[in-house]
Amino acid sequence: MTIMFHLIIVAALIAGLYVYLVETLFKKSKCKGTADMTGKTVIITGGNTGIGKATALDLAGRGARVILACRNQKKAEAAINDIKKDTGSIDILYMKLDLGSLKSVQAFAENFLKSESRLDVLINNAGLVADGLTEDGFGIEFGVNHLGHFLLTCLLLDRLKESPAARVITLSSMAYRWGKIDFDSLIATKDLGSGRYSWQFFQAYCNSKLCNALFTHELAKRMKGTNVTCYSVHPGVVKTELSRHVSLWQKVFIEPVARLLFLDPNTGAQTTLHCAVQEGIEHFSGRYFSCCAVEEVSPKAKDDAVAKKLWEVSERLSGLS
């Protein structure tokens, strides 16, 4: 009887924990915006898989011209075929972009500006958790998650300003809360943290997500008085290819938890979509969104001095100044 009682207590605790997690860390939300996107052009980095593909599918279904800015052409073409089949849209195309190469970012921007007459929404979606260096010698998480997107956005700002109402959406993460920026180390090593152990490159990931939030904060200040607004997004804890570079034993640990609790990419895309199509959120430019709603961030994610310095350092590192 005592054993049975203990088993019931344990089961109740596990069930309670599951419900708590589902309603907090793994909470679902739904974009309620009904805006038609016909005639608008959208760029989505990393749009060939996961959250990016789900975002592209929805926006293509709303009539947008969608450009998948990706490294892997084969995956992009497969994604395009899927999206065309599901939406009936033929206005979706691939342009090569490797965010780990500043040269590739510049080439993408030149190609886009020559071939496309407008840009209404830029979605800085691509990201990774990994160790290593970019083509230019930057830590790969800083280089891809922040610096590549920083350069891309800056190179496209003039075209965005020509749109009647342009938006820049950058995927951050709740992981920004554990992030920190050591500018001396960044300038000296071109990195915000690295190492062969998982906790080391997870810390670097958190640092890059803090950069995303600070970038959005500073971008909003610089775009004040223009028709460009910007938002950073926590998509939720989503089952994507984000951690495809982690070790096999880590995948063995993560996979069962992911199957049980993690959000699917379509659910993970909802807050991005909210920021892309919801009317009346312009006064929230520079803010951080989670579960399709604006959310207050910790002081370090809206520190004016740090955000300004990150922008200036990023300009130097990316060759803009």
Joined tokens for residue 261: 């609790």
φ, ψ of residue 137 to 5 degrees: the values are 90, 10
Helix (H, G, I), strand (E, B) or coil at 10: helix
Question: H or E element: which one contains 124?
Answer: strand 121-124
Which residue is listed with tokens 């199957």? Answer: 259
Joined tokens for residue 266: 């379509």
Joined tokens for residue 84: 């065309």
The CA distance from 167 to 219, in Å, is 11
Joined tokens for residue 98: 């490797």
Alpha helices, H only, 47-148: 50-61, 73-87, 102-115, 140-141
Question: Is the CB of residue 258 less than 8 Å from the CB of residue 239?
Answer: yes
DSSP label of 262: P
- Give me the DSSP letters along 180-201: ---HHHHHHHS-S---SSHHHH
The CA distance from 138 to 313, in Å, is 13
The CA distance from 160 to 285, in Å, is 15
Residues 6+ apart with CB under 8 A from 35: 62, 277, 278, 279
The CA distance from 237 to 209, in Å, is 14
Sign of CA dihedral 42, 46, 49, 52: negative
Q: Which of 176, 205, 231, 288 is catalytic?
A: 205
Active site residue 205: yes
Residues known to be catalytic? 205
